[in-house]
Amino acid sequence: MFRGFYTVRFQLNDAVGRSVMYVRDGRMLGGNSAFAHIGTYEENGEDIDIEVNTVRHNPDPNYPAMAGTDDATLIAQGRADGDLYRFRGALREVPGAVFQSVMMPVKEEAVPIAGGVGEGGIVNGLYSIHIRMLDGVEGGLTGVMLLNDGRILGGDASFYYLGTYTSENGRWKGQILNQVHTPALGENPVFGEHEVGIGFSGTCDAQGALLEATALAGKRSLRLTAVLKLMRRL
């Protein structure tokens, strides 16, 4: 069955990109460092028909749109190939361009048990996340994060996140394990290529959340802050 949490490699003609995607109950929610990917799917026998829209959440011009436009719609069809799912299709905005992708599952046993959410807790949904390092450390990260009843799933073009949280009365706290799915060639990511444990706490409301955190990357302890903006409710 086509459901779960996946890392994704996609290609439009010769341009290659990567992202993460959560799939369940006919919905697809994911993204990467600059774009959220929000869509739907329908299973027709062995075939899977998908329609996915891209929405920019990071205005940084160093992350150009592969389609030449920030708002694009993918129409594709695919099917299972062992544990993988392969898709082929096109973008409405780029006639003649060929889209291909491979979705690779993150093993279910790696997904942590969910925490608890009470009254006034953070809203279930897909969020953009923009991370800024503290204590004079340069750099930051952007990506997407899915929050769902105490469970965290998210990532970007190089990392994926798994975690849990508890939340009520406008506060939340939790823990995240940040792991590499694709080495960031030619870049110098904040966390290197370490598996990083992050503990955080912060505030939340109906539009998003703030957090402060400490990350353990190898032998380094790094403090950071992040802003989450709700892009689509579950």
Q: How many residues does the chain have?
A: 234
DSSP state of 73: E
Report d(CA 67, CA 3) in Å as an integer: 27
Digit-by-digit pLDDT tens for the chain (234 residues) are: 899 999 999 999 999 999 999 999 999 999 999 999 999 999 999 999 999 999 999 999 999 999 899 999 999 999 999 999 999 999 999 989 999 999 999 986 666 677 789 999 999 999 999 999 998 888 888 999 999 999 999 999 999 999 999 999 999 999 999 998 987 655 556 666 668 899 999 999 999 999 999 998 777 899 999 999 999 999
Q: Do domains 4-105 and 112-233 have the same CATH topology?
A: yes
Report d(CA 91, CA 98) in Å as an integer: 8
DSSP state of 110: G
Q: Is the pTM of this model over 0.95?
A: no
Contact 153, 176 (CB under 8 A): no
Place of tokens 């592969």: 66
Within a 10 A sphere around the Cβ of 68, how many other Cβ atoms? 12
Instruction: Specify the 3-state DSSP secondary structure of 109.
Output: helix
Assigned CATH topology for domain 4-105: Lipocalin (2.40.128)
Q: Which CATH class is domain 112-233?
A: mainly beta
Report d(CA 174, CA 202) in Å as an integer: 9
Domain boundaries, the chain: 4-105, 112-233
What residues contact 31, with CB distance under 8 A and at least 6 apart? 19, 20, 37, 57, 126, 128, 143, 144, 156
Query: In the beta sheet, which residues pair with residue 35?
Result: 56
